[in-house]
Amino acid sequence: MAKRKNKSPFKGRKKFNRAAMNSDMDGKGNKASHVQGSSANTGEEQLELSWKQTFSPTILESKVPQKFLDIINGIGDTVLADDGLSKKWDFSNSLVGKVSKEVAIPMYNKEDSLFALSMIRKYCQEYLKQMQQWNRSYEWNKASGGVTPKEEDIHVAQSWIVSQYKNEYNPWHKHSGHFSGVIYLKIPDGMENHFVEETKDHYPASGLIEFSYGEAQDMRSDTLMCKPEVGMILLFPSYLKHTVYPFYCDGERRSMSFNAYWKAPSKENK
């Protein structure tokens, strides 16, 4: 399978003592043993997948197609700019975020809706297939009899847009379902400069997402930070706790989140 070209955001900086953000390298610049690359074909798009197994729950990182970004950002631009639509599609009562706006995603164009939903289902399908290959899909195997999951076995329960500005944040939380994901739609122009400055004398955290699993113990990492990039998708088990740190520059940090679940096929559909 094609290997993903690895890029480290640190550009040679290796002074951090937790799991490296978005880095496929170990401390010596070699391929990290907990990172594996693969690819998948949706028929329309080729997906490059990077599997991060820093701790037991696996995180899938990939990049969504530009078409997906254009569809969701187009809806976000329309809804977020209109106070009436923002109120109509407000989703904040179901969430814990301390942010400006969190809105559901109204999909009026059937073709766009089918494309966006298919992309999300495909990522979830690839995640479940990989867990099956690694003998970790215990509940799926028990419910389905161990068949290979298909895209139609994945169901998207909720999706919403998070519009975040300076000083806003998301406290530690988890989601519902089997799969949860975040897709980064917009990043403030000044965030990269602020990140670079933070790396000079502090552990960088502003605007980043951090995952946590298990208890802190000797000779193991219980956290993983990731640095957002436009188009990045992070897919993970819904129970995996995570938080989003505030940032301190002007501009919007926009992301899309979703929850999905698998439903084992009936005997007739296997």
The total of structural domains in the chain comes to: 1
Signed CA dihedral, 113, 115, 116, 119: sign only: positive
Domain extent for 190: 36-265
In a domain, 47, yes or no: yes
In Å, how far from its chain's centre is CA 149? 21
Considering the domain boundaries, does residue 31 fall inside one? no
pTM recorded for the entire structure: 0.80
How many other β-carbons are positioned within 10 Å of the β-carbon of residue 42?
17
Instruction: Identify whether 19 is part of a domain.
Output: no
Is 16 part of a structural domain of the chain?
no
Q: Is residue 136 situated within a structural domain?
A: yes
Is 15 a domain residue?
Answer: no
**To 10 degrees, the CA torsion angle through 234, 214, 134, 128?**
-40
State the Cα angle at 32 between 29 and 33, rounded to 5°.
150
Whether 18 is covered by a domain: the verdict is no
Residue 10 lies in a domain: no
**Locate tokens 């059937």: which residue?**
110
Task: For strands 223-226 and 170-173, give the pairing.
Answer: unpaired
17 exposure class (CB count in 10 Å sphere: 0-12, 13-18, 19+): exposed
- For residue 67, the one-letter residue type is K
- What is the domain-level CATH number for residue 84? 2.60.120.620
Beta strands in the chain (DSSP E): 35-41, 46-52, 59-63, 101-104, 154-164, 170-173, 179-186, 209-212, 223-226, 232-237, 241-244, 253-262
| Predicted confidence pLDDT, tens digits, the chain (270 residues) | 444 444 443 333 333 334 444 544 343 434 444 567 777 777 778 888 887 765 578 999 999 999 999 999 999 999 999 999 999 998 887 766 678 788 999 999 999 999 999 999 999 999 999 999 988 999 999 999 999 999 999 999 999 999 999 999 888 889 999 999 999 999 998 888 888 888 887 778 888 999 999 887 887 778 888 999 999 999 999 999 999 999 888 999 999 999 999 999 876 666
